[in-house]
Chains A and B, each alone.
Chain A
Amino acid sequence: MSIGRFLIIVATTYLGLLAVTFFIGRVIPIDPVLAIVGDRAPAYVVERTREELGLNLPYWQQFLLYVKGVFQGDFGRSVLTTNPVMEDIRRVFPATVELATLGTLIGALIGVPLGVLAAVKRGSVIDQIVRVIGLIGYSVPIFWLGLLALLVFYARLRWTAGPGRIDVVFEYTFTPITGFYLLDSVLRRDWAAFRDIFAHIVLPASLLGYFSLAYISRMTRSFMLNELSQEYIVAARAKGLSETRIIWAHALRNAAVPLVTVIALSYAGLLEGSVLTETVFAWPGLGLYITDSLQNADMNAVLGGTIVIGSVFIGINLFADLLYRTLDPRTRNA
């Protein structure tokens, strides 16, 4: 695929995202102005707001203005926090990224080996376990499992800290640098804070990790089964290689090509799933920001969050695509 085609795909996907969010924000609501000023506002206020927002213009002009705004990083102001939405998002997004990254790490580091073992020892206990993990992972509501996890591990067993990202005690002593608290506490050598932050993140991250693991292990298993049935595996055996080497250096190296996409999709899924998880764990990230805004009919904030997550989705897909190309020599100069 040429660079030109690549750019067209990115551009149209992004334009599509903006068109859909525009449609949701401006076209569906009967009167967006009413949502802002309320239905008791006098007529001249309504009229002025309408003009200020450019709502008297035809839709296509509105859309162009909207696209221009988005490219300037202007999603409007949040009704709830009165800050520009972009500023709010910049503040809360690291929390979500930190959680999703940790979740994906857990999912990939455990899920890939588990899937490999399940494929190699087909029908064994491990295979059954992967199957059950997968089935439950695909069937259980994440927010419910989160509630139960809080009940058991926090309220009853007291193994982990409760909802939130950091204890109130540290609110004033701990100053973040990057917004990724685990990293920040290490950078500041604040081990007490690190322990507390870890105690807070471990439960939601494990939960997300479980869902990631369910998906990744199942896909790894099926990719590995496919690779292990290929002729080059017979050839590798005929060369006298050990099973360990055949599985991990030959089969998994080939399975890694489609696995990259799966792990990227899983990461994107966790970012999106943050809407539900963060609500349960009162995790001050983008997901919680979006749901809070939803509950207050703060459409600017909702759409801003949607666009940011959508952009990250597109970015992750692109990244996976590029990685795919570097991993598979067949796509390089074919």
Chain B
Amino acid sequence: MSTMLEVEDLSVSFPTRTGMIEAVRGISFSLGRERLGIVGESGSGKSQTGRAIMGLTPPNALISADRLEFDGIDLLNAPPQLRRDLRGNRIAMILQDPKYSLNPVMSIGRQIVETLRTHEDVGKAEARDRALAMLEAVQIRDSRRVYDLYPHEVSGGMGQRAMIAMMLIAGPELLIADEPTSALDVTVQLDILGILDRLVRERGMGLIFISHDLRLVSSFCDRVIVMYAGRIVEELPATELANAEHPYTRGLLNCMPEIGVGRHPLPVLDRRPEWAL
């Protein structure tokens, strides 16, 4: 398996009035054409890791890394123009809530076409056809109708499908999915995951799946990274999750309810300061 993404000692920090906030503190991992899950609580730095790879960190943030390479391209020293060409084209990202991440005053079709025409020199008619095909690929049946709808006119599940269509239409090789199902109804979550699963498999993409839901990640990914306070505390194959060693990972696992098992007292997640060191 060839390595697509190489991350070595990545740190992201934000200067504030009260001092530096270190969101990500020296993490390293590499990714081939596989599904990697990043799990952690809010504030563990998992989202900032994804955004640093995309190059979407806020301008006041300080990023450093020994290596941050995508397909041999040094991302940290790449000119902004090159990074922009990568985004949407070779690396794409799906955000959490389609209610906020789709432009409310632009029709869904136009938003999808916009990605395509930014990266490929295609005519209007062809772009429209390919957008419609993409909408069908995310299992939207009446794609022609949805094409002209505005984001507020569709349900959350439909919106997230549109989001996936918008991000995958230019055929990226790496997809970062940042909590792609957390804002959706449970019943819709599985549909969306199914669509993602199929597209990633069919197109042979690499996937970074960022979530707070350890079970979900473990059932969906090949490998899991557990983050705590900006660091990786454990990295293991998804199948080995039951044998996780780090107490934090075990704690996360323990928080999952199980049918038929008494849960008194309810377990509480242990957070020790020494894990953050």
Contact = CB atoms under 8 A, between A and B. Distances in A.
Nearest to B116: A239
Query: B85, B152, B166, B167: which has the most chain A beta carbons within 10 Å?
Result: B152
Given A235-B93, A240-B89, 11 more contacts: A231-B95, A232-B101, A235-B102, A235-B163, A238-B87, A238-B88, A239-B87, A239-B166, A240-B88, A241-B118, A329-B107
Please provide the 8 A-B residue pairs with the shortest distance between their CB atoms, ordered closest to farther.
A240-B88, A240-B87, A231-B100, A239-B88, A329-B150, A238-B93, A231-B101, A235-B101
A139 interface: no
B167 A254 contact: no
A232 B118 CA distance: 17
A334 B154 CA distance: 11
Contact of A238 (B100, B153, B167): B167
A254 B104 CA distance: 8
Contact of B84 (A231, A242, A254, A328): A242
Interface of B: 54, 56, 84-89, 92-93, 95-97, 100-107, 114-115, 118-119, 150, 152-153, 163, 166-167, 170
A234 B87 CA distance: 11
Contacts of A242: 84, 118
A256 to B, nearest CB: 8
A333 interface: yes
Interface residues of A, number: 22
A239 B114 contact: yes
A230 B87 contact: no
Interface of A: 230-232, 234-242, 250, 253-254, 257, 327-330, 333-334
Contacts of B104: 232, 254, 328-330
Contacts of A253: 103, 105-106
A235 B105 contact: no
A330 B102 CA distance: 13
A298 to B, nearest CB: 49
A330 B150 contact: yes
A254 B87 contact: no
Contacts of A236: 103
Nearest to A250: B103
Nearest to B54: A238
Contacts of B86: 240
A334 B151 CA distance: 12
A231 B89 contact: no
Given A238-B54, A239-B118, A254 B88 contact: no
Contacts of B118: 239-242
A242 B88 CA distance: 12
B189 to A, nearest CB: 19
Contacts of B105: 253-254, 257, 327-329
B95 A235 contact: yes
A166 B56 CA distance: 57
A241 B86 CA distance: 11
Given A254-B105, A329-B150, A239 B167 contact: yes
A234 B56 CA distance: 7
A53 B101 CA distance: 64
B127 to A, nearest CB: 14
B134 to A, nearest CB: 13
Nearest to A236: B103
Nearest to A241: B118
A239 to B, nearest CB: 4
A250 B107 CA distance: 12
Contacts of A257: 105
Nearest to B163: A235
B54 A254 contact: no
A257 B104 CA distance: 11
5 contacts: A231-B97, A240-B88, A254-B105, A328-B104, A330-B150
Contacts of A330: 104, 150, 152
A180 B100 CA distance: 46
B158 to A, nearest CB: 16
A237 B56 contact: yes
A241 B84 CA distance: 7
Contacts of B101: 231-232, 234-235
A239 B102 contact: no
A242 B82 CA distance: 11
Query: A232, A250, A329, A334: which has the most chain B beta carbons within 10 Å?
Result: A232
A84 B66 CA distance: 84
A18 B152 CA distance: 41
A124 to B, nearest CB: 12
A252 to B, nearest CB: 11
Contacts of A333: 153
